[in-house]
């Protein structure tokens, strides 16, 4: 994996603990803005706080474990903070107290390829689950993904009991019948606050009063997006006679919510969630996202203003510190490779960043990234992070999955609805996992009057007397949790007991995960052309080049994760 070395080890701070409330000054501008600042290495906490105050900022909260603080200040704060030797820089978060938009509703962050739900325009009936041949879960016949990684064979001897898996995502529906038995409500936390609108007045998470709890501060067992619940279910849905089973069906699910309802993920929640994971005995975390607003964070791109350069340096520095902290405290870090269908080791063009307006008038612009070494996507390209690409049913790399020789560490099933002989859209080629009932109703998948599924991307299991709901999604976001689940099995199988249950060093987990993966060579020829016959009658083609031959290689890394091989001594 290519790395950008930023000297991002934790600074020596004269404060213990992690989240500390402190006041250090007063905002100096008429418009209050929220910033995230990283303290410079070698600076004391006192000198960094003084620098914040001198720049006109007031510390709202401080993550003293890694030297990062959230600051409230005026619009002129960033320039002063970036000039201070006691601070790495400032990343603007959002304007505080923006007006609620007239238009109700909830926007969704759109991925570059928008692949996860690109089949939501499909009509017809939901797919029926083949009757299980054994005592498997009722919908196990639809879980081709678990067959691909041989999870059933692994679960005969290892199910992840005593292992804690942190879900850094949009939240987890802890009340879902196929999640609740493994959901750790006591440890789960929500590190976010809903944002009704951005600086341009555009809808982000939507008016808080329109949400089920009528609040901008959601409980730690809530997911008003659905993404995090799907991820958690893939990792650790229990074997309980309901719906499906996850890769590690007895692992504990810990919701460490770092994402907005809309799917945006910002810096402060991400670093706070990671440090929390390190302090609370979390063994594995799954990160199926990149930190907004920059898909790629560049330290010195000529198209970026000095303020934007400092912001991206701050994101890289703060995230790497948090990743280092978590890994040093026993947390194995697993992340999605991305759905941009690009080779991360080659020059690219980023036309999507910044994707969130933290100041009025801000909009994305085109940057030619000619030197792949100078720009990184966080957290996936952070040091110590296992990057996971996506496969379809035939084991080919999914058409949307990003790749790159030296970037991808392993591959795992993430779905590909066009991976079939005809090259036409088949929803069962995606990944089935838990769907929050409220989201299923809001998105038109379930009739609230009858509980009936009315959309082909959703499936219900009512065999227990109470219906639980599931949805099809595809993406590297769905591949990463399969690898995280196998990592949980590895901790369960080879780890030792400690105060939190089980523990195993992330270095050993990664070694077993990569060594046990099933070798998968590059296609022949290595220039693989995808042909997709779209529902509108058009045909889409794209060619991706796999470098590395039999492996490791750019499509599959060390291979497709294999649960059985991972726990076979």
- Residue 565: both structure tokens together: 């091989």
Going by pLDDT thresholds of 50, 70 and 90, the confidence category of residue 426 is very high
d(CA 187, CA 306): 40
- Please give the pLDDT value at position 97: 42
d(CA 15, CA 38): 15
Instruction: Using alpha carbons only, give the angle 350, 292, 70 rounded to the nearest 5 degrees.
Output: 140
Mean pLDDT computed over 191-195: 91
> Does 3.40.50.200 match the CATH number of domain 140-566?
yes
d(CA 140, CA 542): 33
Query: Please, which residues have CB within 8 angstroms of residue 402's CB and are 6 or more apart in sequence?
Result: 337, 338, 339, 340, 341, 342, 343, 344, 389, 476
Q: Which of 314, 274, 321, 312 is nearest to 8 (CA)?
A: 321
Kindly report the number of other CB atoms within 10 A of residue 105's CB atom: 10
- Please give the pLDDT value at position 20: 41
- Please give the pLDDT value at position 493: 98
Contact 197, 204 (CB under 8 A): yes
Q: Phi first, then psi: what are they for 544, rounded to 5°?
A: -120, 140
Q: Which of 103, 235, 251, 75 is nearest to 169 (CA)?
A: 235
d(CA 535, CA 126): 17
d(CA 143, CA 152): 11
Quick check: 226 pLDDT over 90? yes
Quick check: 9 pLDDT over 50? no
* pLDDT tens digits along 322-377: 999 999 999 999 999 999 999 999 999 999 999 988 888 889 999 999 888 889 99
d(CA 226, CA 234): 13
- Residue 407: both structure tokens together: 């970037």
User: What pTM does this model have?
Assistant: 0.93
What is the secondary structure of 225-271 as a DSSP string?
A: SSHHHHHHHHHH---SSSS---SSTTSEEEEEE-B-TTS-B-HHHHH
Mean pLDDT computed over 468-486: 98
Question: According to the per-residue pLDDT averaged within each range, which of 28-37, 356-365, 524-533 is highest?
Answer: 524-533
- Please give the pLDDT value at position 484: 99
- Please give the pLDDT value at position 13: 38
d(CA 68, CA 61): 9
d(CA 61, CA 269): 11
- Please give the pLDDT value at position 81: 96
- Residue 87: both structure tokens together: 């601070």
Quick check: 5 pLDDT over 50? no
So what CATH class is 19-95?
alpha beta
> Among 117-126, 284-293, 294-303, 413-422, whose mean pLDDT is lowest?
117-126
Contact 493, 248 (CB under 8 A): no
What is the secondary structure of 98-134 as a DSSP string?
A: PPPPSS-S---PPPSS--TTTTTT--SPPPPPPPPSS
Is the bond preceding 293 in cis, omega lying within 30 degrees of 0?
yes
Parts of the chain belonging to CATH 3.40.50.200: 140-566
Three-class SS of residue 391? strand
Instruction: Using alpha carbons only, give the angle 482, 486, 490 rounded to the nearest 5 degrees.
Output: 165
Catalytic sites, residue numbers:
169, 227, 477
Instruction: Using alpha carbons only, give the angle 343, 347, 353 rounded to the nearest 5 degrees.
Output: 90
Quick check: 147 pLDDT over 90? yes
Residue bearing tokens 């600074």: 11
d(CA 142, CA 246): 13
Contact 82, 90 (CB under 8 A): yes
Quick check: 24 pLDDT over 60? no
Mean pLDDT computed over 540-566: 96
Kindly report the number of other CB atoms within 10 A of residue 496's CB atom: 8
Quick check: 6 pLDDT over 80? no
Q: Which of 94, 90, 96 is nearest to 55 (CA)?
A: 90
Quick check: 10 pLDDT over 50? no
Which helix or strand (DSSP H or E) is residue 59 part of? strand 58-63
| C-alpha R_g of the chain | 23
Reduced 3-state DSSP string for 394-414: CCCECCCCCECCCCCCEEEEC
- Please give the pLDDT value at position 135: 63
> Among 21-35, 153-167, 531-545, whose mean pLDDT is lowest?
21-35
Q: What is the percent of the chain where pLDDT is above 70? A: 91
Is the bond preceding 523 in cis, omega lying within 30 degrees of 0?
no
- Please give the pLDDT value at position 101: 37
Going by pLDDT thresholds of 50, 70 and 90, the confidence category of residue 154 is very high
Q: What is the percent of the chain where pLDDT is above 90? A: 78
* pLDDT tens digits along 65-90: 999 999 999 988 999 999 999 999 99
Mean pLDDT computed over 429-455: 96
Parts of the chain belonging to CATH 3.30.70.80: 19-95
- pLDDT, mean over the chain: 90
* pLDDT tens digits along 495-511: 999 999 999 999 999 99
Which helix or strand (DSSP H or E) is residue 344 part of? none
């Amino acid at each position: 994996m290519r790395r950008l070395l930023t000297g991002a080890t934790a600074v020596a701070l004269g404060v213990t603990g992690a989240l500390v409330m402190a006041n250090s000054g007063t905002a100096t501008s008429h418009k209050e803005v929220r910033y995230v600042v990283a303290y410079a290495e070698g600076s004391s906490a006192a000198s960094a706080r003084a620098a914040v105050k001198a720049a006109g900022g007031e510390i709202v909260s401080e993550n003293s474990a890694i030297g990062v603080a959230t600051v409230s200040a005026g619009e002129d704060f960033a320039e002063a903070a970036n000039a201070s030797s006691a601070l790495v820089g400032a990343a603007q978060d959002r304007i505080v107290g923006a007006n609620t938009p007239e238009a109700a509703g909830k926007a969704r962050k759109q991925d570059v390829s928008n692949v996860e739900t690109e089949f939501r325009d499909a009509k017809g009936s939901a797919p029926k689950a083949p009757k299980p041949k054994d005592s498997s879960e009722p919908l196990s016949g639809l879980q081709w993904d678990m067959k691909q990684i041989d999870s059933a064979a692994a679960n005969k001897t290892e199910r992840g009991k005593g292992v804690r898996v942190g879900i850094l995502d949009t939240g987890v529906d802890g009340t879902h019948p196929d999640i609740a038995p493994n959901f750790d409500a006591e440890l789960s936390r929500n590190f976010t606050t809903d944002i009704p609108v951005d600086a341009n007045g555009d809808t982000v998470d939507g008016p808080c009063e329109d949400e089920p709890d009528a609040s901008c501060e959601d409980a730690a067992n809530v997911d008003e997006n659905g993404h995090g619940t799907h991820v958690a279910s893939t990792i650790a849905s229990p074997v309980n006679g309901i719906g499906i089973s996850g890769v590690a069906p007895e692992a504990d699910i810990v919701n460490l919510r770092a994402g907005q309802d809309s799917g945006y993920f910002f810096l402060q929640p991400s670093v706070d969630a990671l440090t929390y994971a390190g302090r609370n005995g979390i063994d594995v975390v799954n990160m199926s996202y990149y930190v907004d607003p920059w898909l790629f964070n560049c330290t010195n791109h000529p198209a970026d203003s000095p303020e934007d350069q400092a912001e991206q340096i701050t994101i890289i520095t703060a995230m790497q510190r948090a990743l280092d902290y978590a890994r040093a405290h026993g947390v194995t870090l697993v992340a999605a490779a991305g759905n941009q269908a690009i080779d991360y080791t080659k020059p690219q063009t980023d036309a999507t960043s910044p994707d969130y307006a933290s100041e009025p008038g801000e909009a994305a612009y085109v940057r030619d990234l000619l030197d792949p070494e100078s720009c990184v996507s966080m957290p996936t390209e952070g040091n110590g992070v296992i990057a996971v690409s996506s496969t379809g049913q035939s084991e080919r790399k999914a058409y949307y999955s990003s790749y790159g020789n030296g970037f991808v560490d392993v591959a795992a099933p993430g779905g590909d609805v066009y991976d079939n002989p005809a090259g036409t859209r088949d929803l069962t080629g995606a990944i089935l996992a838990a769907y929050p009932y409220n989201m299923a109703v809001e998105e038109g998948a379930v009739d609230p009057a009858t509980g009936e599924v009315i959309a082909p991307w959703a499936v219900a299991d009512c065999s227990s007397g109470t219906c639980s709901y599931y949805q099809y999604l595809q993406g590297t976001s769905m591949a990463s949790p399969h690898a995280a689940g196998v990592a949980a099995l590895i901790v369960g199988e080879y780890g030792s007991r400690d105060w939190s249950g089980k523990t195993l060093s992330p270095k050993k987990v990664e070694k077993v995960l990569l060594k046990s993966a099933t070798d998968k060579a590059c296609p022949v020829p290595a220039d693989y052309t995808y042909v997709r016959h779209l529902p509108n009658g058009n045909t889409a083609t794209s060619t991706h080049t796999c470098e590395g031959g039999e492996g490791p290689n750019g499509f599959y890394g060390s291979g497709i994760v294999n649960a059985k091989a991972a726990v076979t001594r």
